[in-house]
Structure 1
Amino acid sequence: MAQHEAQPIINPYLAVLIGVFAVSFSALFVRLCGAPSMMIATYRLLFTFLLLAPLTFYEQFGGVRRMSRRQLWMAGLSGVFLAFHFVTWFISLKYTSVASSVVIVTIQPVFVVIGSWLFFGEKISRLAAIGGVLALLGSVVIGAGDFRVGREAFLGDLLALVAAVLVSGYLLIGRRLRGSVDLTGYTFTAYGMSALVLIVASMVARVPFHPYPWRDWVLMFALAAVCTVLGHTVFNWALRYIQASVVSVSILGEPIGAIVWAALFLHENPTVRQMIGGTLIFAGLYIFTRVAARQLE
């Protein structure tokens, strides 16, 4: 445990459950928001940065100042990955169903461990590899079904897969840094870079920053306050105190919650093929994360 972070004031396992509940609303909020996907992502990260910045100011940038130049660059790079993850995933939700998109994007633990093998030489056990293949097979089943529905649905699935790869870069760097970097320093740098990248990209693409109806503003703020601060930031905090495998397996609850909210509020019921593919993905990821995620700690 890092010397700059005190003992947890809340049970980390309870915090992870709160985080899973919070992030499960992401897909619903995005689908209900009428703003362009790029702008939804931009305001989500900008509002997140503004909500968490006071903590960094309060400690007089202590967490940031304790980071080395290399750690700052790495945290900034993770923010770039996160920015483009949100853009591709939000666009995906415009083309395909919530069930297909959230289940496919959940495959990210497979890419995290593949990245650890490629860049850090970490070994992957045979059982973990079997679980990873099973999860990828599930995404193929869903994609094949959506391809029959239409090209847009299939494109949405592909974008969700790209989003899974991108968020893996964010998580891989985060897990490497969180062992030696304070949470405030990491989130200030990563979220700040994400917001900056998306603001510049939106200006270049000439995506309007306003006007939007009040409901869109509420939804974009909710994505920041609920899904990111109470969700992703809680996961980053919990990684300091509990095993990454616990966090990874717990996150599998996100698509289940998202599918439930989509059925209740969007009247999107998963198809038989989606349920079969989702079952393969969940089974594979359960095997995979239980075996492989411990190698990242």
Structure 2
Amino acid sequence: MAVERSSGPFSFRCLTEGFSLRGVGLHSGRDCVLTVEPCDGGPLLRHEGAEMPLSRLGLVGTGRGSDYVFPDGHRVRTCEHVLSALVGLGAWGVRMTVEGPEMPALDGCAQRMAECVMEHSEPCGAGPEPFALAAPLRVGDESRFVAAFPSSRFCVTCVVRYESPLIGTQMLDLVLEPGAYLEQVARARTFAMEAELEALRARGMALGGSLDNAVLVGSGGIRASGGLRWPDEFVRHKALDLIGDLAAVGRPLCAHVVAVRAGHELHLRLAERLRALSGGHRGS
């Protein structure tokens, strides 16, 4: 998939037409539809007749995904993969309409969404005003945290550590630009521990998960359709999640974000801190 390399800190893409994607929700197992359309002043999220900018919606990251909560309490679940593709490719001027309780799981990563964005968009010079972080921020504790540092670009460093020797400790550094996103992150799939699967499904989660959209790690080895795409696919997926979760700020970030043994809850706590500092959403 060819993509223009950015010569500056950010490159932007503008949708030339809308598109729709249908699939089961990762947790609900229900049929879900996402329609993405170009708009001014995005990103916007529409659900059950309500529409708001991402930067003004409530955030919940405690349910094995990132949920956006409307003022009346209803929410759209597992938004991180779709948002990761949009941020990774610089497509900010979008309206996302969701039918169903969550985003469709699709391929369990951001590849299919990224392919649709590339097919239905073109490079453009305009985008939201980036937010340049002026001083370091940190959320979490000594063992699990996310920190952000001033930078001229958006960079991420992710570290994961799992007891399973099949994952162990992995680290990824990435300077975010569309080519690097597509080549190094977009195809990294979500994953779960086999020992946790029964308990997750008893709680009404992972009902739409399968080897078509996830990697399963168990005592007998790793189960994944086609095998792992990289030996460190796990940390690459964590970077994918982090990029998508920070879309909650509503505009590009000039910051180096370091996530150590973190997850959606910590990612979104940092996003809330960044929202407060950035002064809210500013459209393109």
Q: TM-score, normalised by structure 1?
A: 0.27
* Greater gyration radius: 1
Bigger strand fraction: 2
